[in-house]
Amino acid sequence: MKRPIAHIAGTGRYAPAQVLTNQDWEARLDTSDQWIRDRSGIAERRVADDRETIAYMASEASKPALAEAGLTPADVDAIVLATASWDRLLPSQACDVQAVLGAKNAAAFDVGAACSGFLYATNVAEGLIATAQAETVLVIGAERLTRIMDWEDRSTAILFGDGVGVAVLRPAPGDGRGILSTYMKSDGTLGDLLYRPGGGTVAPPSEQLLADRSQYIRMAGREVFKSAVRSMADACDHALQRAGLSGDDVDLLIPHQANIRIIEATAKHASIPMSKVYVNVDRYGNTSAASIPIALDEGIREGRITAGMMILLVAFGGGFTWASAAVRW
């Protein structure tokens, strides 16, 4: 087991006030509350309004995270932001957050790894701290998926929601607390199972693109589901093994919140009872890169995460990508 290099010194989250329930979807699409609950575990999700850009939401979520760490925006050395639903394609989303937050001394850039993005960004932030490039890194998972999903496609629209979670990474205090292990993996050959076909340089905006609705997320749900179960299990195994731990040592598993059935399968694989699993997919749906840091912040505010606990974070997403981290809190 390595000595922790970095630890999480503060967290924050932003959830838009507007709630979209399964009953709201029943009124719009050929679906039912029962189907959505049974297949995904989702009851409601949040929807950002026009004012709630990612730059705005991420800036709002960063303020309490920095305050908890006893820092100000001027103290931030780097912003590493994970998203799949940028406010705009250029410049990076992280630079727009930097401007709104006023983190004038920071380097800022994005990480693209879909739902695994927050854990990928955490890995990058840990590396910046390890190489003394930075002492304070804002790691942000931020999504406004309701703007890139197809509101007429019942097989995807009912899954997604908006929100932001933030963690402030700092050098580990040296008392054993911090990030004990990390793991990242990808399989780009499966990219077309979960993707946005249009809008990039290969298929730039055109009338045809809009007619095909190919600016929106497309997903082969059943195939993604199977890979997610397999990959989340692999991610659990690697983070635990690298930290010299087993499922019995885990006090709280915080999995990516995509589907309650994937979460249950992951917990079962790692021999972690559901009483030690954080679940909020029912209230937020799938917020992709934001789901783990939102859950982390909620867990702390609710008192479910306390000093000394062993936390296992596990994610899977488009790419395909998967990742994990074991953290001594």
Residues that bind ligand ACO (CB under 6 A): 31, 35, 39-40, 84, 114-115, 154-155, 158-159, 194, 221-222, 224-225, 228, 258-259, 262, 286, 288, 317-318
Q: How far apart are CA 8 and CA 68, in angstroms?
A: 10
Cβ distance to ligand ACO smaller for residue 158 or 235 = 158
Q: How far apart are CA 14 and CA 143, in angstroms?
A: 11
Smallest distance, ligand ACO to C-beta of residue 317, A: 3
CA dihedral angle for residue 252, residue 255, residue 261, residue 267, rounded to 10 degrees = -40
115 an active-site residue?
A: yes
Placement of tokens 């249950």 in the chain: 264
Smallest distance, ligand ACO to C-beta of residue 223, A: 8
Helix or strand holding residue 105 (H, E): none
Cβ distance to ligand ACO smaller for residue 84 or 294 = 84
The catalytic position among 7, 115, 238, 259 is 115
Cβ distance to ligand ACO smaller for residue 7 or 256 = 256
Q: How far apart are CA 262 and CA 233, in angstroms?
A: 10
Q: Report helix angle 291-301 to 117-130, nearest 10.
A: 80
Answer left, alpha or beta for residue 271, where phi above 0 means left and psi between -120 and 50 means alpha.
Answer: left
Alpha helices in the chain (DSSP H): 22-28, 33-40, 54-68, 93-101, 117-130, 154-157, 207-212, 221-243, 260-269, 281-284, 291-301
The catalytic position among 7, 236, 256, 259 is 256
238 an active-site residue?
A: no
Smallest distance, ligand ACO to C-beta of residue 39, A: 4
Alpha helices in 47-146 (DSSP H): 54-68, 93-101, 117-130
Placement of tokens 């021999």 in the chain: 271
Cβ distance to ligand ACO smaller for residue 159 or 265 = 159
Smallest distance, ligand ACO to C-beta of residue 325, A: 18
286 an active-site residue?
A: yes
Cβ distance to ligand ACO smaller for residue 65 or 113 = 113
Are the C-beta atoms of 149 and 160 separated by less than 8 Å?
yes
Cβ distance to ligand ACO smaller for residue 57 or 224 = 224
Q: Which of 196, 203, 222, 183 is nearest to 321 (CA)?
A: 183
Smallest distance, ligand ACO to C-beta of residue 327, A: 22
Smallest distance, ligand ACO to C-beta of residue 169, A: 23
Question: Residue 195's CB: how many other CB atoms inside 10 A?
Answer: 16
Which positions are annotated as active-site residues?
115, 256, 286
